[in-house]
Amino acid sequence: MTGQSNDAPWQRPGEVPEPAPGRPATARLVDPEDDLTPVGYPGDFGTTSVIPYQDPNQVASPAGPSYNVLDQQEPLPYVQPQPAPRHLAAEPAEIDPSEDYERQRAIGRRGTQNLGLLVLRVGLGVVLGAHGLQKLFGWWGGQGLGAFKNSLSDAGYQHADILSYVSAGGEIAAGALLVLGLFTPVAAAGALAFLINELLVSISARPHTFSYFLPQGHEYQITLILLAVAIILAGPGRYGLDANRRWAHRPFIGSFVALLAGIAAGIAVWVLLNGVNPIA
């Protein structure tokens, strides 16, 4: 029994052996002692000069110039400077008016103000609605539509037949809207226009005398006018159908517009349909 031989394969004399697969033909073995410090090296290991490598098989030649690491440093790569980041000023956060109102309502900052506006609004609405029903249907001892039309004609109004329906119906509608808190500025402006005409009729009945106190005075009409103005400027409050509207809980420009519109409508109706100077 023979084992596998480790000898090199047989070849003819003078034949060049084929290189082993995976190794170049020019490859040769390197003595690891070639990397050691040459015998007779005069320097020390702390020098910064690099000794050039010489092949011991070649003829010795004068050493080339040494490369000094400290004196011949390579330049650092140039980096383009970047501009410093700009810190933008923080903008104030926008606050939704509806959220601000909900927060104020939650902590109860308005106290009983909303309750007071409810009483004011419902009180004026009930008074207007009741007087409108008296004029239109004659309820609760009212004069009825026919007598109301005659009173408008006696006061000097033109088209009293149409104006009687519009006036009585508008008074009822304004009262109902005020009670519900729906379209409050519009309803209060309409009520203001009607109350201005009622005051002018009362003044024109006694043009040369002006009395404030009842029974001959005008304190009733003046009080209702002031209530309508207060509702226009203060808004409907939280207890109403207009509570979720932005202009309802922060009335400002719209309130002045509604106030001027109510005053202008009342004066326009008096001038166009009556035309009598109430103080002459």
Tell me the pTM: 0.60
The span from the CA of 184 to the CA of 241, in Å, is: 9
Helix/strand/coil percent split, the chain, to 5: 50, 0, 50
Cα dihedral 218, 220, 225, 226 sign: positive
Confidence (pLDDT) at 46: 47
E strands of 60-154, at which residues?
none
Residue whose entry in the numeric block shows the structure tokens 């005008």: 218
And the tokens for 241?
């159908």
Residues of the chain with confidence (pLDDT) below 50: 46-48, 60, 67, 69, 107
Cα dihedral 242, 246, 247, 251 sign: positive
> In this structure, are residues 258 and 184 in contact, taking their beta carbons and an 8 Å threshold?
no
> In this structure, are residues 248 and 242 in contact, taking their beta carbons and an 8 Å threshold?
yes
How far is the CA of 54 from the CAs of 35, 42, 51, 57, 121, in angstroms? Answer: 10, 16, 9, 9, 111
Confidence (pLDDT) at 29: 59
